[in-house]
């Protein structure tokens, strides 16, 4: 089984890259986010590999990190999630954001991926919610702020910033995540206005 490939980028396809390893060209399927992060043809690249052996084919899937490969495997434990859907989810949500979405039970974030409808998104967050902390990437502050009771105990600027973002139409989990990230970046003494501005940037990004 192939676990890692290191070589030169030969060429790109719509959903794959051909990686030249000592003269052998490996066709490696990747998420759009991974493809966009790789260098131009002729330059060196290294990918964590998941090998899937079927009766009619051997397929290689490439990832920029072991964590992303782990999530690829975990996602496919959910009924209705195959390799294509798992790659689509990882194409819009890096591992840390996926872990946060699952921890916060944020179905809307997961359903941003092509091919993931509301029912499948609900099944994914329900079945994998307990896996998120084990694979890291979830900011404890974000998880705390997502709960109504814990948010009430947060500093007033944090409470006000979350409320402001919710009033602008964002869901509570997204607002809490954005403000949590803002507090981490600006410090716990940040004022409401600064948290809102930074939170809007987080949500826009």
Instruction: Kindly list the domain boundaries of the chain, sorted by start residue.
Output: 4-63, 66-135, 140-204
Task: Please name the CATH architecture into which domain 4-63 falls.
Answer: Beta Barrel (2.40)
The dihedrals phi and psi of 62, each to the nearest 5 degrees, come to: -110, 145
Which pLDDT score, from 0 to 100, does residue 145 have?
Answer: 58
Task: Please name the CATH architecture into which domain 66-135 falls.
Answer: Orthogonal Bundle (1.10)
Q: Is 63 helix (H, G, I), strand (E, B) or coil?
A: strand
Q: Taking the complete model, does pTM exceed 0.85, yes or no? A: no
Q: Torsion over CA of 101, 107, 109 and 110, rounded to 10 degrees?
A: 90
Per-residue pLDDT tens, the chain, 205 aa: give them: 799 999 999 999 999 999 999 999 999 999 999 999 999 999 999 999 999 998 888 999 999 998 899 999 999 999 999 999 999 999 999 887 888 788 777 898 899 999 999 999 999 999 987 776 555 444 555 555 554 444 556 778 888 998 898 888 877 767 887 888 888 888 878 899 999 999 898 877 6
CA distance 112 to 91: 10
Q: Which contiguous run of DSSP H or E holds residue 130?
A: none
Alpha-carbon dihedral sign for residues 135, 139, 143, 146: negative
Q: Helix 172-186 crosses helix 192-204 at what angle (to 10 degrees)?
A: 120
Which pLDDT score, from 0 to 100, does residue 148 have?
Answer: 45
Per-residue b or e along 25-36, where b marks 16 or more CB atoms closer than 10 Å to that residue's CB: ebebbbbebbbe
Q: Do domains 4-63 and 66-135 have the same CATH topology?
A: no
Which pLDDT score, from 0 to 100, does residue 144 have?
Answer: 55
Spatial neighbors of 183 by CB under 8 A, at least 6 apart, are: 141, 158, 190, 195
The dihedrals phi and psi of 35, each to the nearest 5 degrees, come to: -60, -40
The dihedrals phi and psi of 40, each to the nearest 5 degrees, come to: -75, 160
């Amino acid at each position: 089984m192939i676990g890692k490939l290191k070589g030169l980028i030969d060429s790109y396809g719509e959903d794959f890259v051909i990686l030249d390893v000592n003269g052998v060209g490996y066709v490696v399927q990747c998420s759009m986010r991974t493809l966009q992060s790789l260098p131009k043809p002729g330059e060196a690249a290294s990918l964590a590999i998941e090998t899937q052996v079927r009766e009619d084919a051997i397929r290689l899937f490439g990832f920029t990190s072991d964590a992303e490969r782990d999530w690829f495997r975990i996602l496919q434990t959910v009924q209705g999630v195959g390799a294509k859907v798992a790659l689509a989810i990882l194409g819009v949500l890096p591992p840390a954001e996926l872990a946060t979405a699952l921890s916060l039970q944020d179905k809307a974030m997961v359903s941003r991926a092509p091919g993931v409808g509301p029912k499948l998104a609900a099944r994914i967050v329900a079945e994998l919610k307990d896996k998120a902390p084990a694979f890291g990437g979830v900011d404890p502050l974000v998880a705390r702020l997502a709960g109504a009771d814990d948010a009430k105990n947060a500093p007033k600027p944090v409470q006000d910033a979350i409320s402001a973002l919710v009033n602008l139409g964002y869901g509570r989990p997204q607002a809490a995540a954005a403000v949590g990230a803002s507090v981490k970046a600006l410090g716990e003494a940040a004022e409401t206005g600064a948290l809102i501005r930074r939170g809007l940037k987080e949500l826009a990004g």
